[in-house]
Amino acid sequence: MADTEVPAGFGSRLHSAASTYAALCAGIDPHPRLLESWGLPVSVDGLTTFTMRCVEAFAGHVAAVKPQVAFYEAYGAAGFAVLEKAFAELADSPTQVIADAKRGDIGSTMAAYAAAWLADSSPLAADAVTVSPYLGFGSLAPAVEMAQQTGRGLFVLAATSNPDGPSVQRAEGAGGRRTDQLMVDQAAEINKAYPACQGPVGVVLGATVTDPPEIAELNAAVLLPGVGAQGATLADVSSLTKNKRVLSLPSVSRSLLHHGPDVADLRKAVKTVVGE
């Protein structure tokens, strides 16, 4: 740990929320099939009702929510307006908002993505955003700088569970270090200056990954998608993170959302997932 710690922001808020509420990230994924299963039209009206029902159900009950941005982009400007409305509703909630946008580019383009999702002046500003480092970790510098300036956070894709991921993520570079481990290590370097487990640069680690990178020195949260419908369990999460529960944020979407549209049923599903 560095001699001089910088003020904590997103990492501190997430740590507090995970210690107070269900240590879970509830996905908000308005897939057309889910809209239909809730009896909603596949339209902006249906998208709005679905999203705001999720906000009502999860705010103040889970540590974080993770809207899947692609499902909003599909509706163009009207979809982004729904996302902005949800972010505004969640602004005063202790539940942290992770925009699952997976942005990644270089130079001024990455700076523009950072401004869109992390700048105080943006209507799309979330507490954190997912980013892809596979143009080189250094390409994320504008987002890292913006997150540090505004007290927001990043979740860097490290080891994902899609079948084609390992061909890139497990490739070995100089000294035999795998690419996914390099991503974790470079995030950990940024997080050294922050209080324990409160760094702003977390990583995404698929909960179904069988050969994960080492995260002991990360000093930030690990977002673990794949629990529930994709087959992973909380026991898998515990194993992958070496029982470092304070670092573990399982992400659950379909196995929660299929309990909708009733708000009470969605909240009951959260308790079931975390074993309450």
Q: Is 185 exposed, middle or buried (0-12, 13-18, 19+ CB in 10 A)?
A: middle
The two structure tokens encoding residue 180:
């996914």
Q: How far apart are CA 244 and CA 89, in angstroms?
A: 31
Q: Which CATH number fits domain 10-270: 1.10.10.60, 3.10.20.30, 3.20.20.70, 3.30.2130.10?
A: 3.20.20.70
- Say if CB 253 and CB 230 are below 8 A apart: no
DSSP string spanning 122-153? -TT--SEEEE--TT-GGGGHHHHHHHHHHT-E
CA dist 161 and 230 (Å) reads 10
Residue 91: both structure tokens together: 């602004």
261 cis-preceded (ω within 30 degrees of 0): yes
Q: How far is the CA of 83 from the CAs of 57, 99, 120, 215, in angstroms?
A: 16, 9, 16, 32
pLDDT value of position 226: 82
Residue-level pLDDT, tens digit, the chain, 276 residues? 344 445 559 999 999 999 999 999 999 999 999 999 999 999 999 999 999 999 999 999 999 999 999 999 999 999 999 999 999 999 999 999 999 999 999 999 999 999 999 999 999 999 999 999 999 999 999 999 999 999 999 999 999 988 899 999 999 988 899 999 999 999 999 999 999 889 999 999 998 888 899 999 999 999 999 876 667 777 777 777 876 666 789 999 998 999 999 999 999 999 998 886
> One-letter amino acid identity for 77?
A
Name beta bridge partners: 131.
103, 156
Name the β-bridge partners of 22. 62
Report helix, strand or coil for 26: strand
Find out whether the peptide bond into 166 is cis, omega within 30 degrees of 0. Answer: no
Rounded to whole angstroms, the Cα distance separating 198 from 22 reads: 18
State the pTM of this model.
0.94
**Domain regions of the chain by residue span:** 10-270
Q: Which helix (H) or strand (E) holds 49?
A: helix 44-58
Active site members: 102
Query: CA-CA distance, 82 to 12, in Å (whole number)?
Result: 28
Our CA dihedral for 39, 258, 75, 54, rounded to 10 degrees, sits at 100
**Eight-class DSSP state of 161:** -
User: What's the confidence (pLDDT) of residue 246?
Assistant: 62
In this predicted structure, what is the pLDDT of residue 174? 82
Q: Say which residues have a Cβ less than 8 Å from residue 117's Cβ, sequence separation at least 6.
A: 99, 101, 103, 124, 125, 126, 129
pLDDT at 4: 46
Indicate the SS3 state at residue 275: coil
Cross-strand pairs, 172: 178
Which SS3 state, helix, strand or coil, does residue 67 take?
strand
Handedness of CA 7, 97, 200, 16 (dihedral sign): positive
